[in-house]
Structure 1
């Protein structure tokens, strides 16, 4: 059993956490984070490593040792619901029909889970969601003139193999392709900038779905009618300004609560050679040059 000295980054700054050991439970870490940062355990989203991944807080009885936590590690803690409390007023607010966020796993396939969820009106099958990677690869390979090396940043063969790997992240190119495959607009609200990117906007698609992006992770958005007689809704008319307004408001609330990761400016250290790097671009360049793949936020 080894004593741990950990760091925790929140919107209020960096905090030091002591008093835990490798035998401590994840629930103990959550409790210490609450004591140190005032972020309630029930509202915590804890990110670690690089690329930053969210810990599975449902498995709160696992030990820190089993999570490979070591002294000196830094966690980024996001308050998912900074205004949540046990007052009747907030309970009533939660019951009002509104656009809400559905959390999906942070395992490099979050974009594909999110798109599958919204195109299937709130149904999520993780295995089926991964099939979207194959559909993207097929479209790229069958339209070589449209998806050139310059557009993809690599050859079609390389891209096809890359996008079908479970370790590859999806982004703008993949959302654009999925928009065309499913003949639907896909709108993604960027938490850090409040920018709304709408893929397929130049087409004649009549329907739109919404995602939210925090710099490293996508989640799907849905409309909760708060009525058991009606199911959640993920598919909307492109002319539904009421839903658009709620999506923009939700993104603005997340921005004000700093529920995003600044991938351009956070500082990392290469665990292999201890070189310090700034932002995702430097880390990717270092990894390509050296083959090193393990990074930690510092």
Structure 2
């Protein structure tokens, strides 16, 4: 890994360290930077963790530098979302960490809302989950704040995507950051944020919802791939479920419900042959995760 500390960085310690792990995207990064320029709270540093083999991200790094932000540009030689976020976490100077995806964007008062909530609740708060506009409407903040470990251990913890998370840096580091075995591109191809939250909650972290702060993310139904592609996609992502059960020693009823669950998809959301492939792959993937997980971190 290499790190470029760019000139023009602010000397004062910022409240927020925004860790932007990016791979393969270009134009979407510009939209995120537009939203950062519009923030009413500019008390942040931007840490760009670049996993591309080329220079596609450099113009955006230079743009951020020209604005006068505190910017760090890190390069990783292999794509790994969890590793990228951990690399950013290791050099972050802010009191609070956030993990915007390269295709999401904030509303103008997002950071100001989080700052106000963090200052108001001071030491009693370890993390905040903000409102993902395109998806979090399914969550009732009054019924799901603070986040409860028992609900998350039963996979009934509602939505808390990594793009919605703001976590105290000291708390995140003490918990060991993200487990780099989970996430996009890994054999356990998802689950990194669920694992992170389960670890934090098990350590008695107090994480509340802040629905007034809002993040957007390009979100919609995934276009179906070939049957072979659907098999690989479902298999890889589903392994993380079994691994989470093993790593966090979830109860037998939770495990059994999860193994049976994909069979119900065939009746609750029938998709013909594609649905059958997804269901079988998900069941097999969950079983593989249970069998092949090794607690050797």
TM-score (norm 2): 0.25
Q: Which protein has the bigger helix share? A: 2
Q: Which protein has the bigger strand share? A: 1
Q: If you compute each CA radius of gyration, which structure gives the higher value, 1 or 2?
A: 1
TM-score (norm 1): 0.25
